[in-house]
Amino acid sequence: MPNTHQRVNPGLLFLMSLLPFFSGGCTDWLVNSLAFHPEPGNQVDPQSFDPSIQEVFFDSLDGVRLQAFYFPRANADRVVLFLHGNAGNASHRIEHGQRIANFDTNVFLLSYRGYGKSEGSPSEQGVYIDAKSALRYLHTNLGFPVERTVILGRSLGAAVAVEVSQNEPLAGLVLVSPMSSGQDMARHLSLSWLTWVAGNPFNSAEKIRGVTAPVLFIHGEVDRTIPVEMGRKLFELCPSTKEWKVVPGAGHNDLIWVAGDQYWEWIRKFIDSVAPLHAQS
């Protein structure tokens, strides 16, 4: 059935354009309450999918205790860091993590601060730190080289993925339904007259220039939350090797459901091409 945990509030960018006029505390409250919609705890039992899935806890670079789900594959030396969207928590994506793990790929599914069993409260800079911390954990604690790591981000998670991928020698990057920038979202909402006072949160259009890894873009053709033109803009700005996939008739929340097995086949082929499976000795 369609994924109901990818929710982006269009009013977010309207209010963010007014942020320079608010005090710091009010600004933080507005951004956090509108951009992030976390749910606590685990709503899905990972053991119901695979008893080998491990619930992992580790500290972020700024000392916040984070939760993640690790899908180990003993004979595989590659890993996917999975960065989810802005609603629910990582447990809602267990099924998706399992699909990727079935490609003989280790998967590390992160719950951002304030989501699931992770401590703290979410913020734009905070979730960036969380993703960077997860990448470090994969390397220092689990032994995966950055060169054998693929990052997959969807919706808000795509902006997080672009941030953490800058100047990193990753195997690859998968961006599903990515937003190009906060200012582009304001224009989409016919609020371009406000952009002269706006900052530019989640500015992937600028950051994508620092991505050197191969990138797979996937977007729904009739996405009304994050229009396909935003994904296409990122694709055109991306300086590295890239692929562009559009799902006809798909919106934002129903993308995977509409695309069906083709969605997973695109991801499998991409992972195999950028990080060919090498059996560990």
Residues serving a catalytic function are 155, 223, 252
**Cα separation, 194 vs 191, whole angstroms:** 6
Q: Which residues of 254-277 are buried (b: 16+ CB within 10 A; e: fewer)?
A: bbbebbeeebbebbbebbeebbee
Q: How would you class 163 by CB atoms within 10 Å of its CB: exposed for 0-12, middle for 13-18, buried for 19 or more?
A: buried
Pairwise CA distance, residues 69 & 111, whole Å: 8
Determine whether 136 is exposed, middle or buried from the number of CB atoms within 10 Å of its CB (0-12, 13-18, 19+): middle
Residue 83 DSSP symbol: E
